[in-house]
């Protein structure tokens, strides 16, 4: 599909049948990076749900892909158990099972809309197959194909976002990114990092400032790691240094991803993105949000309706399990914030670059599957 030589060969989530034919979802455990590169082999949907909730797999697009494979795995496993027990399975039972699995996966993380989008897409696929009177094993095969399609479309979308977004990068630019919106957050070359990779590999000299991204350091652990693997020059900074470098005129543009974009262009992304956006606005630095259409939630009129995940206090009070704050201190830990569309210079999707006013264009080009 593309000639881009992605040297690091990052693989986040994929499906592979074991030698005995059993379905297995393979997953890179991102919670251990960069110290350890460990791949998990998941054989139960509960393991997929736990992996999403505990950020072993994280980043909006790949959460959607993991949910798709999780649903396909759940049906394959269910049918295996039924066959072993010599019990026939009806389409109604399949739909009921997938509805339960959908509920399980929905409860993992509330903000990234790709999760809900993928679950609905998988359920819709099963409903269609059930209506057509397909056999249980045929329905399972269709679900597996649908999960693969979600992953393949993500690869393609990343590539397109890379092509479009690279137009916004000039030779010699120094860019800033927050959190990890790279290959690790997708099954392709990333969202916010895709234009950077594309620009670098077409000969533009780029340098990336990477916010460490407290509390759990997706920038320091993941973005720095994958940029280094790809040979893209970077400087790691703490989050509170971003303003200093913007004021020094060291940064020409900011590229971030998104977990959910409301119909008016308001963007939910990793906590701290809003602060970066306000600073960028003050310093007149363009802020580009790079996200596939599966991240756009046309049902929400504005960002204030986006559910914000609140995570546990230990993420703030400890670092790698070591306490850094007084015992029993009160803590707030919202995992995402919302950047108003007025601070967003453009939204780069796989269908093109969108500029304000966002509402109509987003609706026109991002009709859901
Ligand atoms: C292409 S990923 C875009 C976003 O999902 C990313 O910027 C982000 O906020 C990820 O948060 P995380 O909590 O690590 O899942």
What residues flank ligand 1, with Cβ below 6 Å?
55, 58-61, 112, 179, 181, 185-186, 191, 218, 257-259, 269-270, 335
CATH code: domain 167-365 is 3.40.50.10470
Q: How far is the CA of 89 from the centre of ligand 1 (A)?
A: 38
Q: How far is the CA of 193 from the centre of ligand 1 (A)?
A: 12
* Cα 23 to ligand 1 centre (Å): 27
User: What pLDDT is attached to residue 369?
Assistant: 46
Whole-model pTM: value is 0.96
Q: Which stretches does DSSP call E strand in 192-266?
A: 207-211, 234-237, 253-256, 260-262
- What's the rounded Cα separation, in Å, for the pair 302 and 306? 8
The answer to whether domain 13-158 has CATH 1.20.120.420 is yes
Burial class of residue 237 in the structure, from the number of CB atoms within 10 Å of its CB (0-12 exposed, 13-18 middle, 19+ buried): middle
Q: Rounded distance, CA 295 to CA 347, Å?
A: 11
> Would you state the structure tokens that stand for residue 4, as one six-digit string?
């881009």
Fold match flag (13-158 vs 167-365): no
Separation CA 151–CA 157 (nearest Å): 10
Point out the annotated binding site: 58-60, 109, 218, 269-270
Predicted confidence band of residue 6 (pLDDT cuts 50, 70, 90): low
Mean pLDDT of the chain: 95
Q: Point out the residues that are catalytic.
A: 259
Continuous segment of H or E residues that includes residue 243: helix 242-247
Q: What integer is the mean pLDDT of 10-31?
A: 95
Binding site, annotated residues for substrate: 58-60, 109, 218, 269-270
Nearest alpha-carbon partner for 66 in 23, 25, 17: 25
Checking if the pLDDT of 365 tops 80, the result is: yes
Ligand 1: which residue has its CA nearest to atom 9? Answer: 270
Q: CA-based angle 13:17:22, to the nearest 5?
A: 120
Q: Count other C-beta atoms under 10 Å from residue 58's C-beta.
A: 26
Q: Is the pLDDT of residue 3 over 70?
A: no
Q: Map residue 340 onto helix, strand or coil.
A: coil
pLDDT tens track for 261-310: 999 999 999 999 999 999 999 999 999 999 999 999 999 999 999 999 99
Using 50, 70 and 90 to split pLDDT, how confident is the model at 222? very high
d(CA 222, CA 263): 30
Helix axes 45-53, 91-106, angle to 10 degrees: 20
Q: Apex CA 333: angle with CA 259 and CA 222, to 5°?
A: 55
What is the domain partition of the chain in residue ranges?
13-158, 167-365
pLDDT at 149 over 90: yes
Confidence of residue 64 (pLDDT cuts 50, 70, 90): very high
- Helix (DSSP H) and strand (DSSP E) numbers for the chain: 11, 16
């Amino acid at each position: 599909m593309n000639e881009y030589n992605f040297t690091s060969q990052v693989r986040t989530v994929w499906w592979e049948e074991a030698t005995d034919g059993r379905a297995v979802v393979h997953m890179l455990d991102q919670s251990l990076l960069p110290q350890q590169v460990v791949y998990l082999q998941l054989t139960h949907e509960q393991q997929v749900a736990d992996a999403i909730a505990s950020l072993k797999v994280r980043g909006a697009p790949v959460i959607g892909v993991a949910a798709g494979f999780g649903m396909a795995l759940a049906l394959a496993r269910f049918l295996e158990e039924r066959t072993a027990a010599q019990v026939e399975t009806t389409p109604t039972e399949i739909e009921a099972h997938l509805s339960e699995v959908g509920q399980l996966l929905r409860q993992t993380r509330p903000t990234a809309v790709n999760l809900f989008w993928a679950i609905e897409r998988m359920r819709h696929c099963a409903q269609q197959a059930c209506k057509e009177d397909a056999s249980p094993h045929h329905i399972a095969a269709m679900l597996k194909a649908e999960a693969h399609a979600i992953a393949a479309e993500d690869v393609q979308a990343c590539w397109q976002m890379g092509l479009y977004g690279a137009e916004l990068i000039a030779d010699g630019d120094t860019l800033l990114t927050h959190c990890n919106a790279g290959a690790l957050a997708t099954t392709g070359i990333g969202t916010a990092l895709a234009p950077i990779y594309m620009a670098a590999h077409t000969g533009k000299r780029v340098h990336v400032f990477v916010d460490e991204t407290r509390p759990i350091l997706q920038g320091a652990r993941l973005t720095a790691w994958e940029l280094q693997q790809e040979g893209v020059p970077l400087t790691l900074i703490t989050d509170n240094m971003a303003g200093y470098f913007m004021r020094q005129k060291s940064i020409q543009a900011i590229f971030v991803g998104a977990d959910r974009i409301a119909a008016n262009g308001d963007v939910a992304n990793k906590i701290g993105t809003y602060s970066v956006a306000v600073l960028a606005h003050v310093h007149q630095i363009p802020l580009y949000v790079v996200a596939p259409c599966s991240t756009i939630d046309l049902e929400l009129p504005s960002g204030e309706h986006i559910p914000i995940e609140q995570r546990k206090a230990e993420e703030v009070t400890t670092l790698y399990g070591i306490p850094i704050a007084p015992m029993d201190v009160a803590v707030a830990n919202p995992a995402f914030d919302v950047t108003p569309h007025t601070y967003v210079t453009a939204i780069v999707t796989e269908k093109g670059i969108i500029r304000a006013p966002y509402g109509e264009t987003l609706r026109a080009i991002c009709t859901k599957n």
